[in-house]
Structure 1
């Protein structure tokens, strides 16, 4: 099977740490085409790597062309091509025969364009319309997998859903007793970079640990905060190592802004906090609020309100019973309903069915 991305970090948790191991465990050979050099990443063990350029900002067409060449070159030796970026729809347009092509839909692309600084404001509506046309074409010509049930509303037909679930430890992690709050994931202003820095300034005696890469704007803010001594920024850490760093934390932060692309998606970081028994502090985007309230595993705070976050942290620090209850609730919910070990079998089955139909 050929797995392709030109946008995502090759160490993307859904691709690298969940889907590829699931395919390998089922006995499939995997070719992984991704921007390894651009991100300075190593290929996973046991896969055949193909290095591609990275699509970033307005520089995207060269990466798509390179991916198209590799897909055409490898089409005779694979039975499924699994695409992870909407950009890659251009890489398979006009393909008349060959392996099944599956698009794994990770996000609401049209909504995400509204948050991209490289897209001129007056053109965002035009780009969003083009994305919807591309999605319609993909629905007619490709096999779709959806990472969120909410994405179904964008398409006319029903499609298989492979949730963005997480690897849940077999045994309950340590109780949330550290004087430490954590953030795991890409850092941007829209994901709450400025608010987390302000929270760190407000807290006394509680360490704020941020784990993940950052865009250039946020990286400058984080470096200044580190120099100021108000927080720790670990930078990029491979996901399988990063999630182990969550254990024992007092709380996990998810301070997403009120953006269309965040309203209907359950952030993976919330599930990872829950899987590691860490109480959640989240802003009230609909999907985030519903998950946390349904699982009874954390505290919902207003948007752009560092003082409310600091108060939530203080309340958890004072009340050991409550933080242990919230952490245990999150772990139990994740074990039952957000566990990739359950979803991996369905994921592999969907790809095998696509390959069988293509033959």
Structure 2
């Protein structure tokens, strides 16, 4: 089976796309290609990446010209199944369906809710944009062969649009982040945050918390990821607590594991934005799989996971003094911290890991290639042609 994944936004080293979904399907024996806004063709983790050129930093330019280049390459590949990962590629998904292709929409985020966290959209415009995006998603999703949401909350909405909706949750690869050095004693009071770095993801709160903590005890933040927007990095460098930050930039998976081996606690202290409250952040489960305690915002779903598995602490977000108190407690109670880390690791082993998700993904692909699907695909194509006419 020839499979093409395509994205105009995500990096070619995206964990869900390249290292989980594409690699899993390749391991099942399929011929997998990844089309992306990348500057060259190359093999990454055994996956053939087809670069269509770097995307523009200007959103509208990228959404127009990069998506056209991606579409042309999709046609050239002539795959059995196409699988796309960005909302801006929904028109490409529709065009491929009109041409009779099998198409999957992979929904990473709750995009209509995510609109309210976008600083570049004026506040007065966010609600109408959100409603418009949701209407477009509804129209397009009804015409896709399958929808793959990353969380149960997102899946609940898409099942009302398309019964062929299958949750493929973004749980970690089980042994990817656990230290190869066993239970090595961590000498320094390092805490970690790896992921997209922004104000709504708590970076300023965390730096203020570090300043408070270091009046009492030495604590450093090992920080990895890209700043959004990029100019935020210059702003936070002016904060007095920045001197306690070891900023590593964008980190690969090996560097991620190294940071985990050096850290006593992982942070997920996001603000209560609509898109965050019911999300399942990758880093939460990655910290658990690495065997370190978690400090997270006290959103109900997150509390259920963390307190239910006794693998960390939850605090109200946007309160640096409470964050400082919780971090100090974990660092001053190493035996309890070790139990939290072990509990998180055990929860990852028994429930929150990629292996069963990858199996479900391959089963879906096998179903889409069965003869009974061909009849449904022909009916959908007739409907699409009628709609477009």
State the TM-score, normalized to the length of structure 2. Answer: 0.85
**Alpha-carbon deviation of 1:117?**
2.3
Q: 1:289 to 1:119 in 2, by over 3 A?
A: same
Residue 213 of structure 1 corresponds to which residue in structure 2?
A: 226
How many aligned residue pairs are there?
355
Q: Provide structure 1 residue ranges, at least 5 long, that are not aligned to the other structure.
A: none
Any idea what the Cα deviations from partners look like across 1:127-149, whole Å, max 9, x if unmatched?
A: 21222222222332111011101
Give, in whole Å, the separation in 2 of the partners of 1:105 and 1:176.
Answer: 40
1:233 Cα deviation (Å)?
Answer: 0.5
1:333–1:227 Cα change, 3 Å: closer
User: In 1, are the aligned partners of 2:7 and 2:37 still within 8 Å (CA)?
Assistant: yes
Matches of 2:104 and 2:185, distance apart in 1: 40
Q: 1:196 to 1:41 in 2, by over 3 A?
A: farther
Equivalent runs, 1:234-253 vs 2, <5 Å: 234-253=248-267
Q: Which runs of 5+ in 2 are unaligned?
A: 378-389
Whether the 8 Å contact between 1:2 and 1:80 is mirrored in structure 2 is yes
Task: From 198, 203, 209, give the equivalent of 1:193.
Answer: 203
In the alignment, the residues of structure 2 paired with residue 87 and residue 97 of structure 1 have an alpha-carbon distance, to the nearest angstrom, of 19
Cα–Cα, structure 1 residues 92 and 123, in superposed 2: closer, same or farther, change >3 Å? Answer: same
- 2:41 and 2:70 map into 1 onto residues whose CA distance is 18
Decide whether aligned partners of structure 1 residues 33 and 293 sit closer, same or farther in structure 2, where only a CA change above 3 A counts: same
User: Aligned partners of 2:31 and 2:235: how far apart in 1?
Assistant: 43
Larger radius of gyration: 2
RMSD of aligned alpha carbons:
2.3
Matched, 1:168 2:174: yes
Q: What is residue 333 of structure 1 aligned with on the other side?
A: 347
The normalised TM-score by structure 1 is 0.91
- Residue number in structure 1 paired with 2:363: 349
Q: Which of 2, 6, 9 is the matching residue for 1:7?
A: 9
**SS at structure 1 position matched to 2:369:** helix
Matched, 1:115 2:155: no
Distance 2:59 2:365 in 1: 31
* Alpha-carbon distance, 1:248 to partner: 4.7
Summarize deviations over 1:31-52 as a string: whole Å, max 9, x none: 1111223xx9965143332223
Paired with 1:226 and 1:26, the residues of 2 have a C-alpha distance of 51
- Does the 8 Å contact 2:195/2:224 carry over to 1? yes
Whole-Å Cα distance in 1 between the matches of residues 239 and 32 of structure 2? 42
SS of structure 1 residue aligned to 2:127: helix
Cα separation, 2, equivalents of 1:15 and 1:104 = 9
SS where residue 33 of structure 1 aligns? strand
Question: Alignment partner of 2:323: what SS?
Answer: helix
